[in-house]
Structure formats: C-alpha cells, structure tokens
A and B are shown apart, each in its own frame.
Chain A
C-alpha cells in the first residue's frame, strides 16, 4: 500500500531527517576533523570539511602520539584490547551456554533462585567490587596484566551470557532432550549434538553483546591495568586528557574513531543481533 505524499508526510520525513543529522553530527565532527590540520580546527572551522586533506593525525594517533611514557601511539593499546576481548568473550559465552543448558534442561530444586542470584550480577555497580578485586588480582599475581582483565571480564560477563542462553534454551523443546537421553545420549553429547547446533542466533547475540561491553569497558581497565596493559579506552582517555603540550584535537578525533571502529563495524554488519541483545538485556523472559 503506498501512501500519498501529503504535507503531513513531508514534514514527518523532514523531522526524521533532522534527527538523523542530530545523531550523525558528532560522527561527522570526528571524521572531518581527524582529516584536517590542527590550525583549521583552532581557527573556528570545526564544522567545515577539510580544505587541506591529510592522514597525518591518523598516523600520529596510531603510532606516534605520546600516550604513556613512550610515544607509541595507540597501536599497542589496540592490541591489548584485542588480546583481552577475544578470550574473555569465548570463555564467557561457553560458560553461559552450559549454564543455560543446565538451568533449562536439567532443572533441579532451587534453580530459579540460583538463576536469580546469578542474574543480580548483571546489575551491581562495579564500584562495589573494585577494592576486593584489586586485592584478589594482587594475590593471584594478575594485577596490571591483560590476563587479569580477562579474568575480571569473564566473571562479570557470566551473568549476561547465562541470561541469554537460559532464555533461549527455555523455548527449545525439552522432549528432544529427553528422547535423546532415553536413546542413551549423555549430558555433554546432548549439549554438543542437539543444543549447540541450534544455538547460532543466541551465540551471535551473546558474542556481540560481550564484545561491545568488554571492548568499551573503562572502569576495570582504569582500575586494574598498568601502563603496558591498558586497554584502548583507557589509552584514548589518557591521550585526550594529557595536559602537556598543544592539544591536538585532530589526533584525538582520529584516536576516538579507532577506539570506535571495532564495535561500529560489528554493529553495521550484525545490527539486527545487536538490537536483539540490547532488548534481551532489558526485557527478561
């Protein structure tokens, strides 16, 4: 059914377009200003397209800018984030899948209570665990290391991955599981052969959610990392807040885009799953 264009429809589209500009404006500012020399920004030209296009700010942000003690650019911190996020996401997803499987297909007395107690972990303000966690990482010899950050992210990611898989497996027919059991299949065989092959969509949702959250984390990174194990978000903040020398806004914007690119890429490629993850995160059941 096509709707004739009336005055109302036109203003509706205009309004929607206006909001598109509102949401895109900061992105435009970041991209445009990361491609111009510094003096074009400081002379009041923030909204203009570059007149003298340059990739120098990107080069500087990536490999030259002074972030920590040495002028390494953001590259080593980008690597830190990658090395942190990949194992953390994999371990957390697998644990969530197993938990969800137990909580829906092998139910036992008190399992709802246990699920509720696990779920509460999604909501705690992490400030409440910072002090004891700093001590614990020290005792484990993990303070200031990337594996230490992986450890922290796994622990506080389990609640989310368990929630996702539990809700997804709850809708999976339990009769199939019972039938396989009667045929002699064991706990892990059923999981591997029946549940896992059917877990594609929720695994994608879970991986995207965890990836975005862990990549974007700042609090844990700022609390538990050393100069050489800082994740990207912390390094970016250091770059921007550093008070020495001239403020190189164009370099800051280039760095900000670098920190945003991995999650933006995931969002553009798999936006549908991203939205579903957000919704499950808020609407239980």
Chain B
C-alpha cells in the first residue's frame, strides 16, 4: 500500500512538470499552429465576408498576384525593407562606433538615441505625419523662416510617400540597432585591439579589418529583427499615410487588413497573410534552427 502510494507520488512528480507546461503548449498548438492551418485552408477557399469552406484551389493566389494593389504592396515592401534595414544598420553602426570612443555622458546620449523604441508606432506616425505635412510642418516652417522656394511634400507625393515611412521607421528603430552593435563592440577582446594598435594600424583600418568583421552576430540579429519588423509593419503606415496618397504606400500588412475586413475578400486576404508568413519564415526558421542547434 505504502509502496503504491509512493510510486503514485513519483509518477505524479514525473508528470507534474509536463502538466504545468501543457496549457501553454495547448494554447500555442491551437492559437499559433492551428490558426495558421485554418488561415491556410481559407486561402484555398471561397471565403468572402465570412469564412466559407468551398475549395477553390489556387484561384485566390492567382487573383492576388494579378491585383495591382498587391503588386504595389510588394514593391513598397521591397523598397521600404531594403532601405530601412540598410539605413538602420549603417546609422546604428556609425552611432555605436562614435559612442564607443570613451564619451562623457555616454549613458545619457544612449538614452536619447534609444527612447523612440519605447513609443508606439502610432505616436511616431502622428508626430511625423504632421511634421512632414507641407501645410504646417517642415515646408511651412522653412517658408516662414524666409526660404520660400523650399519644397518638401513627399508625404503627399505618390512617388515619394513610401520614403517618408522609411524616415519615420528609421527614426524609431535605429537606436535599437545602435544598442545591439554597441553591445557587440563591448564584447570584442581589448588585447587584440591593443596589439593591432601597437602594430601601427590606423583607427580606420582597425575598425574595417578587425572590429566590424567581429560584429557578425550583432549584424545577424539586427537583420533578423529589422526584416521581421519591416514585413509586419502595419501601425506606422496606418498612422503616417494610411496607405495613401491613393494606394501609394500600401504594404502587405495593410493590404491583408483591408481585403479581409473591409472589402470582404477573405480568401484573398488569407492568401496575402500566407505570403507574409512564408516570407518571415524564410528569414526566421534558418535563424532559429542554427541558434537552437548550437545550444544542444
């Protein structure tokens, strides 16, 4: 009797950890993987305003890729993503190197560079929306100051509006990239740098040959985070331009939302969400795979 009680307790003790983990696993299984499966199914269905389960094969994808708005959204994502990642990395690296020169008040300056990261993209969008508005913002101010030929109306200009999204997004996240690189710089072996300095390497050569190559992991994680943010970016576009003027700043995230919830084309909306997921997975899965394998 005592033995079976103790073995039952041992069994419970073995089971308990898994029991504690199971609600989270169940939630993730349903609400992440189950929902991905559900949306995938919808992308092959004839859903319009509400989910419907008639199978239509690839026709949603065919329609999706024949839509001009989707074409614009993909183009915008490419332009935005490339510029956003590149500028953030260059600016972040430069700021990190500048801050790594034994600067007085480094902590204070770092705080200023990084605070936009704490803001909502909606707040950032509102601030830049009015700052870049030619009627009251930068252009009006320059005119008021006497530079009457000054013109900066990108936010109202179909061809240039997407670049204002880049400007605001870079402002928000470049400080984060700076912090990532700064942490990387602090991890570099000081002895090695001193040795190279003794050998007469110039500061520039020092950074180009020794420091920057060692920042590879920092580059990689900055890239993954930025790429991921670029593909998901929704709030900033909504607040800054709301996809306009016209459809000039439409991105996949805004496209998905409007096709699913306001245009009653749920099948096409689901297909666009699917493309977003696949794009992110193409970046994230190899990254997670390598990270987790190394840790074994």
Contact = CB atoms under 8 A, between A and B. Distances in A.
Interface stretch (B80-88, B139-147, B157-165): B139-147
Contact of A128 (B136, B137, B274): B274
Residue from the set A216, A256, A259 with the largest chain B CB neighbour count within 10 Å? A256
Given A44-B141, A129-B36, A263-B119, A162 B273 contact: no
B176 interface: yes
Given A124-B36, A127-B257, A130-B260, A16 B103 contact: yes
B269 A131 contact: yes
Contact of A95 (B17, B24, B288): B24
B21 to A, nearest CB: 5
B179 A275 contact: yes
| Contact-size category for B | 35 or more
A25 to B, nearest CB: 8
A15 B276 CA distance: 39
Contacts of B33: 117
B118 A266 contact: yes
Given A112-B296, A124-B32, A118 B25 contact: yes
Interface secondary structure of B, over-half rule: helix
B35 A128 contact: yes
Nearest to A95: B24
B124 interface: yes
Contact of B122 (A42, A112, A259): A259
B235 interface: yes
Interface in A1-48: 1, 3, 12-13, 15-16, 19-20, 22-27, 29-30, 33, 41-47
Interface stretch (B54-62, B65-73, B93-101, B193-201): B93-101
B266 interface: yes
Interface string A118-150: 111101111111111101100000000000000
A46 B140 contact: yes
B126 A256 contact: yes
B39 A236 contact: no
Interface in B252-287: 252-253, 256-257, 260-261, 266, 269-270, 272-274, 276-277, 280-281, 284-285
Interface in A242-259: 249, 252-253, 255-257, 259
Interface secondary structure of A, over-half rule: helix
Nearest to A219: B234
A44 B143 contact: yes
A125 B51 contact: no
A119 B288 CA distance: 8
A219 B258 CA distance: 12
B281 to A, nearest CB: 8
A159 interface: yes
A202 interface: no
Interface in B197-224: 217, 221-222, 224
Contact of A131 (B34, B39, B111, B118): B39
Given A44-B136, A131-B269, A187-B16, A218 B238 contact: yes
Contact of B121 (A216, A257, A268): A216
Residue from the set A25, A103, A187 with the largest chain B CB neighbour count within 10 Å? A187
B123 A236 contact: yes
Contacts of B277: 124-125, 127-128
A125 B292 CA distance: 21
A182 interface: no
B74 interface: no
Given A42-B136, A186-B13, A12 B24 contact: no
B5 to A, nearest CB: 15
B111 A271 contact: yes
B102 interface: yes
B177 to A, nearest CB: 10
B64 interface: no
B121 A218 contact: yes
A158 B28 contact: yes
Contacts of A118: 24-25, 28
12 contacts: A16-B103, A26-B116, A45-B141, A46-B130, A112-B295, A121-B32, A127-B256, A129-B31, A131-B51, A218-B239, A266-B118, A275-B114
Given A29-B131, A129-B35, A236-B123, 8 more contacts: A46-B131, A129-B39, A136-B31, A222-B238, A233-B122, A237-B126, A249-B136, A274-B117
